[in-house]
Amino acid sequence: MGRIRQTISLVLCLGAFGCTGSGRVAAAHPLARSPAPVVTTRLASGASFRAADAKGKVLLLDFWATWCPPCKAAFPRLDALYRKHRADGLEVVAVSEDDDDAKAAAFAKEANVTFTIAYDDDGKAAEAFAVQSMPTSYLVDRRGVVRYVHAGYHPDEADQIEAELTELLAEAP
């Protein structure tokens, strides 16, 4: 089953939105302006995480995998955003779609990230969030509403994503 999930995810990575493609797709995404799905992922500690756990904070939820080069390339930028804005109420959670938790954890350790890593053991989180390509990032406001979705990763979008985060961080809970 794991190999099938990885193959499907790789096809998504190379598909229409593509690993190397990117774009703010909030208006077209099925979750645009909707509450974040209620779905549970697992943290390395064994505790669970749901988007609702970040209510009151701005959440950047990133779906990624170690076998997707743009996913890995996004990590330094995600960590820089987290370090810069965590005191303002930003929470960054990167949800691994890998079948091998140890591989994902080793990559996160090597990348020296300070944000939270979660594991989507059964793929239900990616399914609930309607992930169409890898990576995909969801910017969720303090009320738990998905406001922006970015499919793929491209460094040229960094300023746009930070502007969106700054906008969301400025809003009252």
Write the pLDDT tens digit of every residue in 107-146: 999 999 999 999 999 999 999 999 988 999 999 999 999 9
Q: What is the pLDDT of residues 68-107, one digit of tens each?
A: 999 999 999 999 999 999 999 999 999 999 999 999 999 9
Q: State pLDDT tens for residues 42-71.
A: 998 899 999 999 999 999 999 999 999 999
pLDDT attached to residue 57: 97
Q: Is the backbone peptide bond immediately before 135 cis, with ω within 30 degrees of 0?
A: yes
What's the pTM?
0.84
pLDDT bracket for residue 31 (50, 70, 90)? confident
Strands 48-49 and 22-24: unpaired
Region of 169 please: left (phi>0), alpha (psi -120 to 50) or beta.
Answer: alpha
Distance CA 11, CA 89 (A): 35
Q: How confident is the model at residue 27 (pLDDT cuts 50, 70, 90)?
A: low
Task: Give the contacts of 75 (CB within 8 A, at least 6 positions apart).
Answer: 64, 94, 108, 111, 113
CB 137 within 8 A of CB 161: yes
Domains and CATH numbers, the chain: 2-170 (3.40.30.10)
Answer for the pair 111, 79: CB distance below 8 angstroms, yes or no: yes
